Amino acid sequence: MSRSNPRVLSTLERAGGFASAQEVYRLMQREGESIGLTTVYRSLQSLVNDKIVDVLRRDDGEAIYRLCGESHHHHLVCKSCGETVEIEGGAIEKWAQLIAEEHGFRDVGHTAEIFGICKKC
Amino acid sequence: MSRSNPRVLSTLERAGGFASAQEVYRLMQREGESIGLTTVYRSLQSLVNDKIVDVLRRDDGEAIYRLCGESHHHHLVCKSCGETVEIEGGAIEKWAQLIAEEHGFRDVGHTAEIFGICKKC
DNA sequence: ACGGTAATGAAAATCATTTTCATTTGTGAT
DNA sequence: ATCACAAATGAAAATGATTTTCATTACCGT
Ligand SMILES: [Mn+2]
Ligand SMILES: [Mn+2]
Ligand SMILES: [Zn+2]
Ligand SMILES: [Zn+2]
């Protein structure tokens, strides 16, 4: 196992939200940093193991990473124009946790999205 | 766009839980059915569009498919072994509707998944 | 039968991710 | 500083799922 290259973490921080390994790599290239794609993958995996970074999957299957501890939230998205509202989980957080515990699951996470047609559309 | 090959749906039914496209394909091969992998992919994709099957992603990123029941439901999935429990929306249905209305959205839908590690893993 | 459209599948292309492996770098002891 | 050894690095090749191409075949209405 290898330890995470600090420049990878720093780049992921700078990226803001979620970013894939490929995106982190391209970002570093663009900023003139010399690094191999392999090292980016290895570093991100290591950060996930250490629970410094969350990983989940895009619809297309690509893995995307983000720093843990950024506030957890969900999205309300307009199917027509794409306008997005960030919303707090509220009741859903408890619901997910409760359901999971009822079935004996641990290490619980969840995803939730609401979509519809916004006022303007 | 193509319509789903009925033998693909039939195989997915017979498979029981979730199965990937590759698995459905291998299953059909083993049972002597003559079909192309491309057709399996196309059929599953079509079934997803028609909301006859659910699709989600394994930890390794491979897409897995399963017949969905006729009633709207959500999933509690083990990240390790893939075991899946169907759960009722309950609180989340109201939550999604309420949040959407607060922001003036109509024609509201939602997605929600809970994941974690099951008892056996 | 004829003409057009949809379905099929083999092969090649794509693309993220992993593996290999040779090279470089860091560390710690002598 | 020199040596030895372990860890980190990255280029290139391998992997594996999914998509695309494209030529062939099955199907349907007239
Ligand atoms: Mn939440
Ligand atoms: Mn629901
Ligand atoms: Zn809108
Ligand atoms: Zn499990």
Q: How do residues A51-108 score in pLDDT, each as one tens digit?
A: 899 898 888 999 999 998 777 888 888 877 767 788 888 788 899 999 999 999 999 9
Residue B10's Cβ-side half-sphere holds a number of Cα atoms within 13 Å equal to: 6
Which of residues B4 and B71 earns the better pLDDT score?
Answer: B4
List, chain by chain, residues whose CB lies under 7 Å from nucleic acid strand C. Answer: A 20-22, 37-38, 41, 45, 61-63; B 1-3, 5, 34-39, 42-43, 61
Say which DSSP state A18 is in. Answer: -
Smallest Cβ distance to A115: which of B87, B95, B109? B109
Task: Please give the distance of CA B112 from its chain centroid, rounded to a whole number.
Answer: 13
What pTM was estimated for this model as a whole?
0.77
> Strand order of the sheet with strand A53-57?
A19-20, A63-67, A53-57
Q: How many A from CA of B56 to the centre of ligand 4?
A: 16
Question: What pLDDT is stored for residue B72 in this prediction?
Answer: 79
Asked if A106 lies within 8 A of B85 by C-beta distance, the reply is no
Return the sign of the alpha-carbon dihedral for residues A52, A62, B45, B59.
negative
Per-residue pLDDT of B18-54, as tens digits, reads: 999 999 999 999 999 999 999 999 999 999 999 899 8
Integer Cα distance of A82 and B16 in angstroms? 37
CA–CA distance, A28 with A111 (Å, rounded to integer): 29
